[in-house]
Structure 1
């Protein structure tokens, strides 16, 4: 099954609606990360913990793509709070002017994923752009496994650039930290 503009609907949700979409987010995560479930960091339980933490922040939003009523992918993000730990995990610290947050400066894109039947259709980009549309933040940041060179290169075509590496959790992989200015 492939998506088309006439059959794929993008729906935006806020944190008050998380309970309604949590099963969809968790199910898609489990499908996309099925091959990595032997690593405790990628377990469903750890994902649910991260999701709860991310969604507890003011300004959290998700965009879910539905193709003929079937969930095909999603992305979610929230603004980094003033006292965020996001930048403290950088392997090489950033200058203070790059890492200073006020709760409205930087949107953190925590997850973006598309189920395999819809990969390569442009759906991830549509979801991404819908999530960013109308956001008040100056910039958006995301983490990507640098061994996933195709994904990293895709983000670069979307306007992101690498600002260094970080390990956000003691048991997580080292991720490339990417940044993009918002209009």
Structure 2
């Protein structure tokens, strides 16, 4: 396995690759159904995320074949990220300025490459060199019977509460880790 990690800051260079992998993994592999998981809805979220300053994606290619991706967006002063929290957070915790918190919006690995450590490699490559103080992500605590959340815990994230960003989305565990 010869995997190359490539960074992108222009979503149009990789939009189709990201959407195709997302649909393959979420809908076909994991059988996630409903409007929230439709390709069009994901593409809309991707458009929204990638329109923010500082958006960045990393895509892994194994001998030219896309194996997985992750992308992240810094949270700006007018972010809605924290507005869907169902768990109260301490005063000041949700104040953002565009350089405090990086939101890991998606990390998706195709079946052939799962269990190889590629997800962690993509994740760490995406975070390396970032100037934000901390990184946050959302994970469905039921995914893999809790195994997915446990992976993020091994990567240094801690659960800070719960969030439901859309009426038709799952209730996610909101997690945070320091970047320095």
TM-score range normalised by the length of the shorter chain: over 0.9
Q: State how many pairs are aligned.
A: 175
> Does 2:157 correspond to 1:164?
no
SS in 1 for 2:6: strand
- Residue segments in structure 2 that go unaligned for 5+ positions in a row: none
* TM-score (ref. length: structure 2): 0.95
CA distance, structure 2, for counterparts of residue 50 and residue 175 of structure 1: 16
Partner of 2:77 in structure 1?
A: 82
SS in 2 for 1:177: strand
Q: Which digits, 9 at most, give the CA deviation of each residue in 1:5-48, with x for residues without a partner?
A: xx00000000xx21111110011001001211x31001000000
What do you get for the CA RMSD once the two structures are aligned?
0.8
**Pairs within 5 Å for 1:99-114:** 99-114=94-109
CA distance, structure 1, for counterparts of residue 25 and residue 52 of structure 2: 25
* TM-score (ref. length: structure 1): 0.94
Q: 1:31 aligns with which of 17, 24, 34?
A: 24
Partner of 1:155 in structure 2?
A: 152
Deviation (angstroms), 1:84: 1.2
Partner of 1:45 in structure 2?
A: 40
Q: Which digits, 9 at most, give the CA deviation of each residue in 1:107-126, with x for residues without a partner?
A: 00000010000000000000
SS in 2 for 1:64: strand
CA distance, structure 2, for counterparts of residue 116 and residue 92 of structure 1: 34
SS in 2 for 1:99: coil
Partner of 1:179 in structure 2?
A: 176
CA distance, structure 2, for counterparts of residue 166 and residue 96 of structure 1: 17
Deviation (angstroms), 1:96: 2.3
Partner of 2:14 in structure 1?
A: 21
Runs of 4+ in 1 over 3 A off after TM superposition: none
CA distance, structure 2, for counterparts of residue 89 and residue 49 of structure 1: 18
- Residue segments in structure 1 that go unaligned for 5+ positions in a row: none
